[in-house]
Amino acid sequence: MITIKNLSLRYGDFYALNQITLDIPRGSWSCLVGPNGAGKTTFLKTMLGNKPYDGSISIDGIEVYKNLRNVAFVPQRPEIPAGMNVAEYVMLGRARLDGWGRDSNSSRKYAMEILEEMQLVAMRRQLVTQLSGGEMQRVLIARALVQEAELMILDEPTSALDLHHQISTLDHIERAQKNGTTIVSTMHDITLGAMYAERIIIMQQGRVLLDGQAREVIHSQELKMAFDDGITIHTLENGRPVIVANKATASL
Amino acid sequence: MKNSEIGRIWHWQITAIVGVVLFIVLLLGVSFGPISLDFQQIIRTLLGLSGGLQDEEKALFLQLRLPRVLLAALVGAALATSGAVYQTVFRNPLADPYLLGAAAGAGLGATIALAGGRSSFYAALPLFAFIGAALAVAATFVISGRSYADPAMLLLSGIAIGSFATAVQTYLQQRNSEVLRPVYSWILGQLTVADWQVVKWASFYIILALSVLIRMSRQLDGLLLSDEEAFSLGISPNKVRIIAIGAATLATATAVSASGLIGFVGIVVPHLVRGITKRATNRALFTVALFGAAFLVLADLGARTLLSPAELPIGVITAFVGAPFLLFVLRAKRVLK
């Protein structure tokens, strides 16, 4: 269980995160949605525990700040190192489990399985600097998956992927969730987010506007409010909700 | 080829080849000079077999050649490895002990030790050199501020700090004219006066620093990512940075206090290893160390034989190779992208 109490983060007078209180159950998938600048990425990065914050974020009662736990993180804009190939990059995700020494055979085997699942085997000797945006994103997720982490934090994990890879990648993340990993992600595509996450957390201006079951949140007034009434929710014949942005009418 | 697991990431054949090259270069190093020694006899002497070197030749080998060549190897390994580590930590392909001002700072520290101490102060020299080097690196880092990853900024800050340290050093040297000679001969390169005592303490500090760095090579790889990613992989970025800079600076300072200011090794060797292996990760650190050792033994061989029987300062040889190489790196630093 991740317990967040009165979490705030301030830059000068600006509150990037403002009094957030949340419980995230173990093994759940929570998806943060909200307009640009709502504080979603800041929230994810703060959960890592790398930087100080006000309030409390604890996992099973242990504060996350400066506490190196097995948390996988997929940033939206990773720092792409020169001169490192895909295999090496992915194996960094296993380094802690191998005690920072030589790669163990079991790690190399496990990494190969993940590369196969993610259809990355053929490019394992390519330098990561030579990958396309979508390939890099899948490699990043592969690195997160090999960590076998207790918590996986993903910032827009599918933003650079084509439709086929969006679904297959989210399926892999879902499999990790089924194996007990807690998932917290952001996703601009709320429809897609609602397909995978059972919980949706709406953020606006550093606050949590609403947090609850995906099905309920998606039909809430708060969701429309967060996007300034700029969205419409349709329901498909199979009962699945689809969220679309309204075309601006002012200019018509 | 079986596909059930990821292949070994680093190919140990490369390390082995560099190791063999180093061995050959070491043999060349002890054998050539104003008086040439026979390979076979050298090996027999080393193994304690009969038919080895005799009398003067044996003394020449054991008292002059061997310590000198070993010291060159140690210093080369130290400079090359700390260059590679600085490049990772500062995320800057041009970071190098010499260009960061560490070498000049170590020179200043060592001069203070020589100017202040009356007796032979050898064992304390590395400590003073270390403090000088650490202060110089810190100053370079602070001056370049947040733009330390910008090659030009770091380079210029390093040059400014280096010049300043050299100026203070020259002042101290002139004021304490009695240390002028030891300081000057020290700056030009101590390899000429290498003895077993120097080899002993230099190997202690250098092997200590390099084993720390090589052991943490995978954490260093983590520093190539963003701090948040590194943290999520189980690395405390700042802690790793401080330990790495400390160890690299200790190695640099020891190298400088043992052998004077020898430039460019920290740039040339890591970039050559990267160029050959096409990879920039710290798994190569051990190979970089071996390569650096071979490089400096070879440079020393050049210094001893090019104008034989006169000697060139070894820094002249490394600069002669290194300066054009630096220009090449400046132009081609996107080679790996």
A51 with A157, same domain: the answer is: yes
* Averages of pLDDT over each 10 residues, chain B, 337 residues: 62 89 94 85 86 85 91 96 92 83 86 72 73 88 76 84 92 81 66 81 95 95 92 92 91 85 89 85 91 96 86 86 84 55
Task: Of B142, B140, B68, give the one whose Cα is nearest residue B98.
Answer: B140
The chain-wide mean pLDDT, for chain A, equals 92
- Alpha-carbon distance A41 to A153, whole Å? 10
What's the domain range around A122? 81-149
Percent of chain A with pLDDT over 70: 98
Instruction: Tell me, yes or no, whether B289 lies in a domain.
Output: yes
**Cβ <8 Å between A92 and B278:** no
- Whether A105 is covered by a domain: the verdict is yes
- From chain B, pick out residues whose CB is under 8 angstroms from the CB of A108: 5-8
Nearest CA in chain B to A69: B234
| Shared domain check, A220 and A116 | no
For residues A187 and A200, the answer to whether their CB atoms sit within 8 Å is no
**Interhelix angle for B102-116 vs B237-259, to 10°?**
50
- Tokens for A188? 């601009």
Q: What element of type H or E holds A139? A: helix A133-146
Rounded to an integer, what distance in angstroms lies between the CA atom of residue B175 and that of residue A103? 56
Structural domain contains residue B90: yes
Closest listed residue to residue B217, CA positions, set A101, A125, A79: A101
**Partner-chain residue, chosen from A50, A95, A108, that has the shortest CB–CB distance to B218:** A95
Q: Indicate if A20 and A143 belong to the same structural domain.
A: no
- The verdict on A187 and A65 lying in the same domain is yes
Residue with tokens 């040059």: B159
Q: Is the peptide bond before A78 cis (omega within 30 degrees of 0)?
A: no
Please check whether residue A59 lies inside any domain of the structure.
yes
The pLDDT of residue B208 is 97
Instruction: Tell whether B2 is covered by a domain.
Output: no
Tell which of B1, B5, B6 to mutate to test the A interface (max A CBs under 10 Å): B6
Instruction: Choose among A81, A84, A92: nearest Cβ to B233.
Output: A92
* Same domain membership, residue A207 and residue A102: no
Q: Nearest-CA neighbor of A97 among A109, A115, A85?
A: A109
pLDDT band at A179 (very low <50, low <70, confident <90, very high): very high
Same domain, A7 and A105: no
Max distance between CA atoms of chain B, in angstroms, equals 70
On whether both A136 and A105 belong to a single domain, the answer is yes
Is A17 part of any domain? Answer: yes
pLDDT of residue A106: 93
A8 in the same domain as A125: no
Minimum distance, in Å, between the CA of residue B201 and any CA atom of chain A: 28
Cβ atoms B292, B77 nearer than 8 A: yes
In order, the DSSP letters of B249-304 are HHHHHHHHHHH----SHHHHHHHHHHHHHS--SGGGHHHHHHHHHHHHHHHHHHHH
Q: How many domains does chain B have?
A: 1
Residue A132, CB-side half-sphere exposure with 13 Å CA sphere: 7
Question: Are the beta carbons of B229 and A78 closer than 8 angstroms?
Answer: yes
Residue B114 lies in a domain: yes
Is A248 domain-assigned? no
What per-residue confidence (pLDDT) applies to B122? 60
Tell if the CB–CB gap between B274 and A73 is shorter than 8 Å. Answer: no
Q: Look at residue B336 in the predicted model and tell me its pLDDT.
A: 41
Calculate how close chain A gets to B5, using CA atoms only, in Å: 4
Residues B79, B265: contact at Cβ < 8 Å?
yes
CB A139 within 8 A of CB A128: yes
How far CA A230 is from CA of A33, A186, A233, B103, B149, in Å, comes to 14, 19, 10, 61, 42
pLDDT value at residue B4:
64
Q: Classify residue B3: in a domain, yes or no.
A: no
- Contact between B234 and A153 using a beta-carbon 8 Å cutoff: no
The answer to whether residue A236 sits within a structural domain is: no
Residue B312's alpha-carbon distances to B33, B191, B321, in angstroms, are 13, 11, 14
More confident residue, B125 or A166: A166
In a domain, A125, yes or no: yes
- Region A221-245 average pLDDT: 87
Domain count for chain A, please give it: 2
Adjacent-strand bridge partners of A11 = A14
Asked if residue A247 belongs to a domain, the reply is no
The CATH number linked to A32 is 3.40.50.300
A99 and A53, same structural domain? no
Same domain, A12 and A57: yes
Where helices occur in chain B by DSSP H, the ranges are 12-31, 39-47, 55-59, 66-89, 102-116, 125-144, 151-175, 180-188, 196-215, 217-222, 227-232, 237-259, 265-277, 285-305, 314-332
Q: Are residues B281 and A84, on separate chains, in Cβ contact within 8 Å?
A: yes
Distance CA A98, CA A107 (A): 8
What residues of B are in the A interface, CB distance below 8 Å? 3-9, 215-216, 218-219, 221-222, 224-229, 231-237, 274, 278-281, 283, 336-337
Element (H, E) at A184: strand A182-186
Residue B88 and residue B214: Cα distance in Å, rounded? Answer: 13
CATH of the domain at B45: 1.10.3470.10
Taking the C-alpha atoms of residue A117 and residue A45, their distance in angstroms, rounded to an integer, is 27
Residue B190 lies in a domain: yes
A8 strand-pairing partners: A54
B283 contacts A68? CB cut-off 8 A:
no
Query: For residue A233, is it within any domain?
Result: no
Predicted confidence at residue B147, as pLDDT, reads 72
Give residue B201's domain range: 12-332
Same domain, A20 and A62: yes
Both A186 and A61 in one domain: the answer is: yes
Of all residues in chain B, the one with the smallest CA distance to A44 is: B228
- Pairwise CA distance, residues B320 & A229, whole Å: 69
Angle, helices B102-116/B151-175, rounded to nearest 10 degrees:
20
Assess if residue B153 is contained within a domain.
yes
Kindly state whether residue B7 falls inside one of the protein's structural domains: no
> Could B225 and A121 be called an inter-chain contact, meaning their C-beta atoms sit closer than 8 Å?
no
Task: Say what the pLDDT of residue B95 is.
Answer: 84
Q: Which of A63-72, A79-88, B76-85, B275-284 is modeled with the greatest confidence? A: B76-85
User: Which of A81, A88, A109 lies nearest to residue B9, judging by beta carbons?
Assistant: A88
- Site from A46, A47, A73 to mutate, B interface, most B CB atoms within 10 angstroms: A73
Is residue A74 classed as helix, strand or coil in its secondary structure? strand
**pTM of the predicted model as reported, rounded to 2 decimal places:** 0.87
Distance from the Cα of B322 to chain A's closest Cα (Å) equals: 22
